[in-house]
Amino acid sequence: MRKIVLLLGIVAFLALLAGCMEQKECPPCVCDKCNISSTDVGIIYLVPENCQDCNLAILQDISYELGIEHKLYFTDSVSRQSVLITKDNKATLAAASSRGNVLKALCDFSGYEMACDILNNSNKSSRETDCLENYNISTNSVVFFHADWCPHCKKMMPWVRQLENESYSFLWIEVSDSDKMDIAQKCLSDILDLRGGVPQFACPANREHHLGEFRTVDDMKNFATRCMSS
C-alpha cells in the first residue's frame, strides 16, 4: 500500500495539477490545499527502497543550508537518489548524486537565489583548484569515475580516449585505485557521489555532474567542451 501511495504522489507531481487527490495521497505542497504559495520552491527527495549506498545526510544538509523544508520518500520508482523540485506549478526531476548537482538543479530550474549564490561562490572557490593543483591536475579536466568491472564504463572508455586524442583532458579515477581514490576523497567529494554508481563524469571548473553513460560521443564531447571553456 505504501508503494502505491508513493507512486501516486510522484504521478501527481509529474502530472502538474492534472487533478488533486486526497492530501494523504499527495506529497505536501502540490495540491492546492497546501498552505503555501505556488511560487514557493518545494523539494522532494526520492530514494530507492533498501538503497545501500545512498547518502541521506547530504540531502538533509542541503535543505538545512538553504532553509527549505523538504520531504523524503522511499520508492522503487527511481533507481538512484533524486530530487523533485517544484515551482510555479511546474516540476523537474534531477539526480541528487552530489551537493553540487542539487544546487545546480535548484538554481537552473527555480532560480532560487541562495542556491545560485552558493553555487557561484563554490565555483569561484579555490578549494578544488588548490587541492587539484597539489596533484598537478587542471580543474578543466573531466573526471571519469569508473570501475574495471562495469560494462557501461567500458563502453565509455573508447570515447574518452577519442576525446583525449582531440586534446580534451580527462582525469581517470578507478574505484580500486587507492591513490586516485585518495584524490577523489580529498578534492572531489562535493561533486562526485563516491558511494554511488559508475560511471560518473564531473567537471571541477563548473561543478557539472553526469551520472551514467552518455548517449553519444557528441554528448560527452559537449560536456567536455563546457568544462574546458569554464
The CATH number for 20's domain is: 3.40.30
pLDDT at 73: 92
Query: Which is nearest to 145 in space by CA: 114, 115, 183, 117?
Result: 183
CA 82, CA 114: separation in Å to the nearest integer?
20
Q: For cell 569561484, name the residue.
A: 124
Of 122, 151, 168, the residue that ends a domain is 122
Q: What is the predicted pLDDT for the residue at 13?
A: 45
Regarding beta strands 170-174 and 142-146, do their DSSP bridges make them parallel or antiparallel, or are they unpaired? parallel
Residues 6+ apart with CB under 8 A from 53: 195, 196, 197
CATH of the domain at 163: 3.40.30.10
pLDDT of residue 123: 59
- Beta strand spans in 170-211 (E): 170-174, 200-203, 208-211
Does residue 18 share a domain with residue 105?
Answer: yes
- Domain end (from 96, 122, 148): 122
Indicate if 139 and 166 belong to the same structural domain. Answer: yes
Q: SS3 of 80, please?
A: coil
N-to-C CA span, the chain: 48
The reply to whether the predicted model has a pTM over 0.75 is no
| Contact criterion met (CB below 8 Å) for 200 and 211 | yes
21 and 49 part of one domain: yes
Which helix or strand (DSSP H or E) is residue 82 part of? strand 82-87
**pLDDT tens per residue, the chain (230 residues)?**
544 444 445 544 444 333 332 333 344 444 333 343 445 888 999 998 887 767 777 777 888 888 888 899 999 888 888 899 998 888 999 888 777 788 888 998 988 889 888 877 765 555 778 899 899 999 999 999 999 999 999 999 999 999 999 999 999 999 999 999 999 999 998 888 888 789 999 999 888 888 889 999 999 999 999 999 87
What sign has the CA pseudo-torsion 200, 219, 117, 229? positive
Last residue of a domain, one of 69, 104, 122: 122
Burial 89-113 (b: 16+ CB within 10 A, else e): eebbbbbbbbbbbbbbbbbebbebe
- 87, HSE (Cβ side, Cα atoms, 13 Å): 15
What counts of helices (H) and strands (E) characterise the chain?
Answer: 8, 8
Task: Write out the residue range of the structural domain in which residue 193 sits.
Answer: 127-228
Q: Are residues 143 and 113 in the same domain?
A: no
Overall number of domains in the chain:
2
Give the per-residue pLDDT at 30: 41
Half-sphere exposure of 15 (CA within 13 A, CB side): 15
Same domain, 79 and 25: yes
Q: Are residues 147 and 113 in the same domain?
A: no
Task: Indicate the SS3 state at residue 67.
Answer: coil
Residues whose CB falls within 8 Å of the CB of residue 13, separated by 6 or more in sequence, listed in order: 27, 30, 44, 84, 86, 91
**Radius of gyration of the CA atoms of the chain, in A:** 19
